[in-house]
Amino acid sequence: MPRILLVDDDPAWRNLYRMALESQFDLFEATDGYQALSVLGAVRPDVIILDIRMPRMDGMDFVRRLSRRSPRPKVIVCSGTFTETERPQIPGVYLAAKTPDLKELWAALRSAVPSAAEVAAPTKQAVAVEDGVWRD
């Protein structure tokens, strides 16, 4: 199973990623760039999902430090700081907008991790269920 290192300081986003990805990937988490660099050798991820804005070491500094390592895992920058029309040019990095539907993230994962190509993004939508509690 492919290994992913999630690097995001927001626990809500890490939870969303975990719920969406844990059935198809081995997941590991870090809350900032420093923590991610410290576990990189032990985790040996196939791909890193990386936020840009984080305390201590942000995503761009992490990418610069990661570029000095070999072999370098694939990186998907998943951030709400850019839009469809305004995206930074980061060589060798996949970009995905940080949206709750995770559509761009799934597309980037299929490009970055060849074994994820057969893994389809969940298409099942949430369905409203009628409340089963008796009310007077």
Candidates 94, 99, 51, 102; CA nearest to 73 is 94
Mean pLDDT value across the chain: 81
Identify whether the C-beta of residue 33 lies closer than 8 Å to the C-beta of residue 58: yes
4 - beta bridge partners?
27, 47
Q: How many domains does the chain have?
A: 1
DSSP 115: G
Whether 130 is covered by a domain: the verdict is no
36 lies in which domain range?
Answer: 3-116
- The pTM score is 0.78
**Which tens digit of pLDDT belongs to each residue from 30-73?**
999 999 999 998 999 999 999 988 888 888 888 888 877 777 88
Instruction: Find the mean pLDDT for residues 4-33.
Output: 93
Identify whether the C-beta of residue 21 lies closer than 8 Å to the C-beta of residue 15: no
Whether 121 is covered by a domain: the verdict is no
Whether 11 is covered by a domain: the verdict is yes
Whether 133 is covered by a domain: the verdict is no
**Which tens digit of pLDDT belongs to each residue from 46-58?**
999 999 888 888 8
Q: Which CATH number is 93's domain given?
A: 3.40.50.2300
